[in-house]
Structure 1
């Protein structure tokens, strides 16, 4: 009969002994299987572990979302507080903006098709009105022809900022004049 105290050989040792010599099989079994630690995770985590795992998953998801999100645009209040559109008065020199005026002249000749040969230089509201309305006036040389404020009439300069309803102009005396209304009160030079 079989001895109940005798142990059955390990299945891995049996398989190794089929492929290798008995000494090699025993050595590989002891080194690679018998003395190798086996790391196991608990199969049923506690409720706290589940809560922590969900929290970490939520944080990773939020980080991923924030990393791949476009930056939101600045509000008008933030732009004012940072001074993003402020022009330092000491840096507004008429000589600096003469090059911008030269570029603007070329830009307008291109927009109004005045560079082509054989073309008359006549610009009328019917032929070029839509182009003039949508044009960019940064660098244009302007003169105030008519204004409710008599002190502004006759002011000449180069446009430094062109906003929706106003122009900021640098005069030849390096003064920055602001808030000239656009609605029919400013004439281009």
Structure 2
């Protein structure tokens, strides 16, 4: 028997079909380009979706961002500085807000607040029971009056180092450390200094009776929040 001769192997390279292989063949020899393509591209796994636990870096980043978001959500906002308050106009009254009638209702609320501070209670409609009216003295109510809030009080200047401010009367819309800012019946905003000034205000009792008090501004040169827990001390009043 005669066997047919086997075909001789030829070194004809396989046709290039991959774009990366074509680019490599331009810069390297056929054998080198085929080796680089096989090692770096053809046999390299392509992870379309990483499995759980395989990408630890992304997991750590996700945990870090979650903690940061939780911290920012639970953190108390930083209070505004004095410069930021001035820029935003926090304490600036708009022209349409400077109405005495608006703050007159605030004064009515303040009067009810002062009745509670002094221990008075007014009878409700349809309720015949009333509380005994207490006696207001400096010893029993002095500390309460000294620590009271004056936002909404209708005050009048009776004595002042600046004679031009005597007689000014209005509802307090802002109580600062050194001044009272009031809105007058003429829909005007006035800033009254506390130093060397005596203010008068009234508390209307049930039955249309009134209690008249005088406040010495030198004794009230504190912010309302600081004055609430401060012990009252007498100061020299030589300006009188």
TM range (shorter): 0.5 to 0.7
Q: 1:79-123 deviations in whole A, cap 9, x for unaligned?
A: 221111211244211111111111111211121013354325x43
- Counterpart of 1:84? 90
- Counterpart of 1:70? 76
1:89–1:175 Cα contact (<8 Å) kept = no
Change (3 A) 1:148 1:160: same
**Tell me, what secondary structure is at the counterpart of 1:145?**
strand
- Counterpart of 1:95? 101
Q: CA deviation at 1:67?
A: 3.4
Q: CA deviation at 1:136?
A: 1.4
What 5-or-longer segments of structure 2 have no aligned partner?
A: 1-48, 122-129, 203-240
Change (3 A) 1:67 1:177: same
Q: CA deviation at 1:71?
A: 2.0
Aligned residue-pair number = 146
Change (3 A) 1:40 1:158: closer
Which residue, out of 123, 129, 136, partners 2:142?
129
What 5-or-longer segments of structure 1 have no aligned partner?
A: 1-38
- Counterpart of 1:119? 133
Q: 1:157-178 deviations in whole A, cap 9, x for unaligned?
A: 1111122332111111111101
1:165–1:181 Cα contact (<8 Å) kept = yes
**Aligned: 1:179 with 2:192:** yes
Change (3 A) 1:182 1:95: farther
**Mapped partners of 2:50, 2:189: distance in 1:** 76
**Tell me, what secondary structure is at the counterpart of 2:181?**
strand
Question: What is the RMSD of the two structures over their aligned residues, measured on CA atoms?
Answer: 3.0
- Counterpart of 2:174? 161
Which residue, out of 106, 112, 121, partners 2:112?
106
Structure-2-length-normalised TM-score = 0.51
Structure-1-length-normalised TM-score = 0.63
**Mapped partners of 1:73, 1:40: distance in 2:** 45
Higher relative helix content? 1
